[in-house]
Structure 1
C-alpha cells in the first residue's frame, strides 16, 4: 500500500487548517466585539421585558448608552483581549482538530464524508475546543458584564485568570462548562449544514462538466461562501441559542451564585422571565454572527486556498 503526500504550506495540512482558523478568528473578533459585549449584557439581565423595557430596539439603545457612559475603547471594547484570545485559540484548534478528525474518518478514495460524519467530527472538535478555551470565556463574560470602573472588576485577561484561579480554583475556571459542552451541538449543526451545502454545490458544478481535479475551477465564489456560511449559522443559532444564555448566567460573577447548576438555572429563568428569557440577546447575536461568520469563513477559505496554492 502506498501513501500519498498531501501538499502543505507548513508541512502539515492540519496545521494549515489551524493557521487559517487562527486568522479567521482574529479578524472577525477584532471587528465585531462590541456586539458580543451587548449580547452578553442582555443575556445576564434577569429582568422581564415590559412596556418600559421593550424587546425591539434594545441593541441600538445599548450601543448608544455604552458609548455615552463608558466610551468606545473602555466601553464597547471592554473584554476584547480575552475574547480575541478565546476566539483565536478556539477557531484555530477547532479547524485543526476538525481537519484531523475528518482525515481519520475518511474511508473512500475521494475523501467524502456523510452528513452524520461531518456532525460527529464537528462535535468532537468542538468538545476539545470548549475544554481548552472555557477559562478565557469566563474572563470575557465577567469583563463584558462589568464596567472598567466597577469595584473589584478584572483589569485584563491575565489579571482575570490569576484572580479567578486564586479566588475560585479550577471550579471557577470551568464555570459554565456543562452548557458550553451542550453548545457543541451549535457548531456541529452549523458545520454539518455548511459542509453539506458545499458538497452539493460542488456536485452541481461537476455535473456541469467542471473537473473535480481542477482546484481553481472548483473553488466556490466569495458570494457562495457568504450565503452558505450565513445560512448554516442562522440555522444553528436559532436552534441552540438558549445554551448561550445559560452559560453566560453561570459564568457571570454577579449571577453565578444565584443558580446551583444548569437545571436550576433553566427553571429559574423560565419561572421569572418565561420562554423569552432563553432568547435574550438573540438580536445582537444574529447581527453579530452574520457578518462575523461570513468574515470568519471568507478569511478561512481564502487562507486555506492561499496555503494550497503555495504548498510544497
Structure 2
C-alpha cells in the first residue's frame, strides 16, 4: 500500500508543480535579498502588484521559457518529496497504535508527519538548493546553471557536500509545517466523516477535499512561513556568503513574510490540486487493487 501512496504523491506533486511553477519562482525571488534593498523602498507596490510586475518582467526578458526556469529541479524536488513523504507517512501510520475505532490521535498524526517530513527533507535538500538558485537567476547570467544535473555538479565541485545541504537546518525546522498541516487535515477528515457517518469513508467529495486541504494549509503556512524566507536566503549563494549579526537585523520583522502574497496565490490552488489528485489516485488504486494471493 505504501508504494501506491508514493505513486499517488508523485502524480499529485507533478500536476501541481507544473501548473503553478511561475508563481513559485516569483515567491522565491521576492524572498531573496534584492527584494529588501533600500532602493526598492522608493518604488514599493502592494505585494500582488509586485507579483504581476515580476511576472511581466521575466516574460519580457526571457519569454515563456523564463517563467519556467528551474522547472526541472522543482519537478524533481516536488515529485520526489511528495512520493517519499506519502510513502513514509503511510508506513508510520500503519505502525501507530490505534484506538478501538481504528483512529489515530492528533498527536500521533503530528509525530508520523514529522518523521516523514524529516526523512524527506534530508533526502531532497540538494534538489531544492538547485531549484532556488535557478529561480533567482536569469538564463543569461554568467554563472547560471544550465539545468538540474549541471547545478548539482557545479555545487558539488565548488562547494562540496556542505553546499548541497545549505538551508538544511531551517528545512528541518520546516518539518513542523507539514506536521501541522497533516495533523489538521487528518482531523478535519475525521470530523467530516463523524458528522455524517453514512458518508463513504474511502472517498469524500472534491469540494470537501479542497476545503479541508486549504484550511489546513493556511493554518500551517501562517504558523511557519518565516522559515521559508530564511531557507531561501541561506540557499542563495550570494546571500549565504554575507555575514549578518542576526536575521532580524538583516530583513526586519516584516521581512520574514516577504513573498507571502505569491505564496498565498499559489498555496490554495496548489494545495487543492495536490490533495484532490492524491486522494483520487489513492481511491483509484484502492478500488482497482488486485486481491492478495492466498
The normalised TM-score by structure 1 is 0.89
Matches of 1:28 and 1:36, distance apart in 2: 11
Q: Which residue is equivalent to 1:47? A: 37
Q: Is the 8 Å Cα contact of residues 2 and 87 (structure 2) preserved in structure 1?
A: yes
**What secondary structure sits across from 2:86 in the alignment?**
helix
Matches of 1:107 and 1:30, distance apart in 2: 37
Q: Which residue is equivalent to 2:119? A: 128
- Written as runs of structure 1 = structure 2, the 5 A alignment for 1:127-206 is 127-206=118-197
Q: Which residue is equivalent to 2:271? A: 293
Q: Which residue is equivalent to 1:254? A: 238
Please, which of 28, 34, 41 is the counterpart of residue 22 of structure 2?
Answer: 34
Cα-to-partner distance string for 1:219-264 (whole Å, 9 max, x where unaligned): 211000000001111111111000000000000012111147xxx5
Q: Is the 8 Å Cα contact of residues 5 and 87 (structure 2) preserved in structure 1?
A: yes
- Written as runs of structure 1 = structure 2, the 5 A alignment for 1:232-271 is 232-259=216-243, 264=245, 267-268=246-247, 270-271=248-249
Matches of 2:242 and 2:52, distance apart in 1: 29
1:111 deviates by 2.6
Q: Which residue is equivalent to 2:52? A: 60
RMSD, aligned α-carbons: 1.4
Cα-to-partner distance string for 1:185-226 (whole Å, 9 max, x where unaligned): 0001100010000000011111xxx17xx65xx521100000
Greater Cα offset, 99-108 or 114-123: 99-108
Matches of 1:39 and 1:70, distance apart in 2: 18
Q: Is the 8 Å Cα contact of residues 203 and 279 (structure 2) preserved in structure 1?
A: no
User: Is there any run of 5+ residues in structure 1 with no aligned partner, and where?
Assistant: 1-12
1:32 deviates by 0.4
Matches of 1:29 and 1:164, distance apart in 2: 24
User: Is there any run of 5+ residues in structure 2 with no aligned partner, and where?
Assistant: none
Q: Which residue is equivalent to 2:9? A: 21
Matches of 1:259 and 1:160, distance apart in 2: 24
